[in-house]
Structure formats: structure tokens, C-alpha cells
Amino acid sequence: MYYIVTGAAGFIGSNLVKALNERGEHDIIAVDNLKSADKFRNLVDCDIADFLDKEDFRQKIQEGFFDGLVCAIFHQGACSDTMETDGRYMMDNNYQYTLELLNYCQSEEIPFLYASSASVYGGGSVFKESREFESPLNVYAYSKFLFDQIIRRRWHKRGAQIIGLRYFNVYGPREQHKGRMASVAYHFFNQYRAEGRVKLFEGCDGYESGGQLRDFVSIEDVVKVNMFFLDHPELSGIFNLGTGQAQSFNDVAVATVNALRHVEGKQALSLVELQQQGLLRYIPFPDALRGKYQSYTQADIGALRSIGYSQPFLSVEHGVGRYVAQLLKN
């Protein structure tokens, strides 16, 4: 029996493959589109049974090639570029593909764990898994939003586990291929090493420079939650996956710079000290993002806690510090 991980060479997918390996699981079908070939590096230290291109996989699913051979599907494959303007591509890749896998998993009675997104909440201020708080701002968010609505419509007909995880701002190892879509922690790390300072957006939407707030969640915690649901196939639902505590971009910058300063044998500095010494630089907020940007997110994790997930989440200070150490090691 095989585990199938789509988006397996991507950020979250490759971390899930590695986590399965650490559990002793090696019968894994890795599915991805390697048009961006450098993503292969994320799988070099992983053990898999086979790799399939996304389109070949979709065809094999339709043909019944995997019938009776799969124990669970982790569907992480998606276009995550929030600035993508090709709506037809986005809806086929993020919506139709996911719908095909849902139908397959339900017909085969296979657990289906898929990636949703906190982007479905748009510019709102309440981040609770309920329709009245959802208002996507771009076609990426709409593709995720629409699929979640399909899950709700079919809820009473489900015959196997369905888990939708609304990822907030995830950071951590194996994201280097994402380019401009990589986490701010990754960009801050590279900026500081290259220029000796980091760049943040100036204030917008009433927030001071660098003061916009997001729920930054470590990939370590994302993996733990996925594995929790894998171990509890009796559970189903759509759940926020964040820490439940918003922190500022300034907090991420301070954590990143101080982790690097620690390696250099230098003392930690406060936000004000970093600003005074010119180690933080604020740049104009991009016009292209106005009206499409979430200046505040904070996951309501009440639903996740209510079904029994009790593990603590890493704060920015601890999570980013661990991430920086791993980046330096690699």
C-alpha cells in the first residue's frame, strides 16, 4: 500500500515525504511538475517508491491504475502564486485537480488530506472556519475557497476521512525554490547575509512600518498537525493551521537578524536598536498589492483544539531561530 503526496517536490509536500520516511514509510508515490527543475533538491534526502509527473498521475487516477493500492493521499500540489492572473490555469490546477482526487478518494474510501489556505478570509478580521468570514481577494484564494465550499456541500455524503488545512504563513526548510513566494524569514536571512540589513514594507492599512501582523507558523508544526490527522482517520473537517498568535513582520526581522548575530558572536538587539543602526530598512508598499494584501491574519484554532490537538506551536522567536540554524547548516 502506498502513500501518495502531490506537490511532493514543493515546500510542504517534501517535508511531509521526509516525515513519512522518519516514521519508517518508504512506499511513497511522489507527484509533482518539475518544470521548475531545481525543486528536485527537496527530495534528494527522501526515500520514495516512484515519481510521477502531475499530468501522468491525473491520467492514471482516471484509469484506475492505483485502485486498491493507496492508504492515504496528501494533496499539496497547487499553484501558490497569489499574483497569478491566468484564472483558467489556476482553476484547473487548484480546483479541478483537487476535485478529481476528492472523487477518487471517496470512491476508494481513502483518507484525503488537502491544502486549503488562510487566503480565503481575504481582508477580514475574523479567521474562523465559517462561510460568513470568507471573502477571497484573488483567483488563487478563490480556487481554494470554492473547493472548500464543495466539501461543505458534500459533507453528509462522505465515506472516508476528509481534512482541509487552511495554512497561514508557513516558513521553514525546503522552501528555497519558491523565489519571491518564499517566506519573509527566508528573504530576511538572505538579505542580511548579502547586504547586512533587511528590507520590510512601509506601513499600510493603518499599520506602522513593518507592523503588519500575520500568523507565522513553522513547517515543523504543519507537519505535526498533518501526522496527527493521519493517525486519526475518524476525524474530518476544515481546520485553520496557524499558531493562533499574530506577530509582526518586525518580529520576524528581529528574530532572523538576532539569530544570525548570535552565530557571529554578537549580542541581540531590540527593534529600536536595529532601526537606529540601519539594520532594518523600510521600502515603499507596492501599488500592485494594494487591495490584495492581508495586513492582519490570526488563526482561530479553537476547532483544531476541540478535536484533540493539544501540542504547543513554536513562536516566531523560537521557530525562526531554529530555521536560521538549519539554513546555515545546509
Which residue among 97, 121, 140, 192 is the active-site one?
140
Q: Please give the sequence-ordered ranges of beta strands (E in DSSP) within 46-183, or none if there are none.
A: 50-53, 70-75, 112-117, 162-167, 169-171
Helix (H, G, I), strand (E, B) or coil at 22: helix
Query: Which residues are paired to 233 by β-bridges?
Result: none
Is-catalytic flag, 178? Answer: yes
Cα 290 from Cα 204, distance rounded (Å): 9
15-23, long-range: CB < 8 A, 24+ apart: 15/172, 15/173, 15/174, 15/219, 15/222, 15/223, 16/74, 16/76, 16/223, 16/226, 17/43, 17/46, 17/48, 18/45, 18/46, 18/174, 19/223, 19/226, 19/227, 21/46, 21/47, 23/227
- Report the 10 Å Cβ neighbour count for 283: 10
Extract the C-alpha cell encoding 258: 538576532
Q: What is d(CA 201, CA 210) in angstroms, rounded to the nearest whole number? A: 6
Query: Per the residue annotation, which of 18, 60, 128, 178 is the catalytic one?
Result: 178
Active-site residues, by number, are: 140, 178
